[in-house]
Every structure is written in structure tokens, then in C-alpha cells.
């Protein structure tokens, strides 16, 4: 009888820990900063996009000027960004990309020019007080 009670308590404790981890992962909020400024990554310079509209996690599209930045608040780890912009030839392009926000940081910079240029480093942690 004591063994059964012990195992029930252990199982309840394990379930409680798993529930805490699940709620933390799904409820953790982040700020993402879609950024349309010139960025240099791995020696490649990415120029701002013309006529860009951005949507993060299905939020309404917002226009973002060259050298502009906006803020979006998101929950969880898995996100999706949608871009509508004009490429160098003036053609309208649409880009949809999924990304993860690890729990190490609260604010992430999303470089839209680097995303359009297919850089793998377009999501970067942002620390308040950094200079552009």
C-alpha cells in the first residue's frame, strides 16, 4: 500500500513538472523588432527594402519605411513572418518564413533585408542600449 501511494505521488510530481514546462513554453512572451535598415552580416551588406509591409503571427500588415523599425509582441516559441515588398526590378514579392525565438532573450531583431537576401542570420538577439 505504501509503495502504491509513493508511486502515485511521484507520478503526480512528474506530471506537475511537465505541466509547468508546457505552460512556460506556450506562454512566454517576446518582443520582435522587424527592422528595415541596412545590415551587414558575414561581410555581405543588405540594403533596405522598398515599399515593405510586414505581418508577424497573423497580425495585420503594417507598412515599414526604409530605415524603419517597428515592434510586435508575440507569445510562444514558434512564429511566422510575412513580407510584401518590391524587389530591385520593381516586382512585388511575397515572402513567408517561420522562425523560433529561444527563451534566452526577450527581444529579437528581425532584419527584413537579410531575410529577403536569404541570410540564415536574419533573427538576432537585441539588447537594449545597443547602438544601430
pLDDT (tens digit per residue) in 4-25? 898 999 999 999 999 988 887 7
Residues 72-88 have a mean pLDDT of 88
Listed in sequence order, the residues at least 6 apart from 37 whose beta carbon sits closer than 8 Å to its beta carbon are: 48, 67, 68, 69, 111, 113, 132
Residue 28: predicted pLDDT: 76
CATH class, range 30-125: mainly beta
The strands making up 123-125's β-sheet, listed across from edge to edge, are 72-75, 29-35, 107-111, 123-125
The answer to whether 102 and 96 are in contact (CB under 8 A) is no
Residue 113: predicted pLDDT: 92
pTM of the predicted protein model: 0.77
Beta pairing, strands 44-46 & 50-56: unpaired
Per residue in 31-77, pLDDT (tens digit) is 999 999 998 988 899 999 888 999 999 999 999 988 899 999 998 88
Residue 105: predicted pLDDT: 81
Q: Domain ranges in the chain? A: 30-125
Amino acid at each position: 500500500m505504501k509503495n502504491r501511494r509513493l508511486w502515485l505521488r511521484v507520478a503526480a510530481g512528474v506530471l506537475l513538472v511537465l505541466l509547468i514546462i508546457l505552460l512556460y513554453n506556450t506562454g512566454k512572451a517576446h518582443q520582435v523588432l522587424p527592422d528595415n535598415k541596412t545590415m551587414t552580416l558575414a561581410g555581405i551588406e543588405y540594403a533596405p527594402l522598398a515599399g515593405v509591409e510586414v505581418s508577424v503571427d497573423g497580425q495585420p500588415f503594417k507598412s515599414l519605411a526604409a530605415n524603419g523599425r517597428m515592434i510586435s509582441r508575440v507569445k510562444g516559441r514558434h512564429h511566422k513572418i510575412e513580407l510584401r515588398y518590391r524587389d530591385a526590378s520593381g516586382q512585388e514579392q511575397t515572402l513567408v518564413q517561420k522562425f523560433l525565438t529561444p527563451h534566452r532573450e526577450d527581444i529579437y531583431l528581425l532584419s527584413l533585408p537579410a531575410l529577403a537576401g536569404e541570410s540564415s542570420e536574419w533573427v538576432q538577439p537585441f539588447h537594449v542600449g545597443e547602438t544601430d
